[in-house]
Amino acid sequence: MAKAKKSKRKKSGGEDPNERVVVRNRKARHEYELIEEVEAGVVLHGSEVKSVRNGDVNIDTAFATVKSGELWLKNLDIGDYAEAGRYNHDRTRDRKLLLRKAQLRKFAEANEEKGLTLVPVDVHIHRGFVKVTLAVARGRKTHDKRQKLKAKEDDRKLREAKRHYVQ
């Protein structure tokens, strides 16, 4: 006899704690032009995972680099987990990122190109695993940032004018 398929409907009672964004790097979208994104797994210790689940992560100064054929995340600050005691982790240690070989090659080439860098956009939990969304990014000049903010403000004013005009 065949097994019955499991229902993929969410249970009533709110969001799934195994599917959520823990922290976003809002500064990255302002400081850089994001070209391409990829999701990578992160190799963590036990106390690090618990701190991430508590949301004790700072991603603002983090960046990724390729070292000896592997992708590493540097300067990601994961706070101490109080209950770990003396078995706590080093807050800003380098953490290995897990990607498929083809993705790694592609991003390694982008990292070698002048003017491009690998920036973490967010840290999230997917199916119980901690993941990082990385982006190949090109730094913006000050005048580019101003133009982006001006265009965003113009868009907002246009939407507001449409809303008042319809009513």
- Residue 74: what pLDDT? 92
- Residue 132: what pLDDT? 94
Domain boundaries, the chain: 19-140
Give every residue of the chain whose pLDDT is below 70, as ranges. 1-15, 17, 166-167
Amino acid letter at 14?
G
- Residue 150: what pLDDT? 85
pTM of the model: 0.72
CB count in 10 Å sphere of residue 46: 11
- Residue 39: what pLDDT? 93
Name the CATH superfamily for 19-140: Small protein B (2.40.280.10)
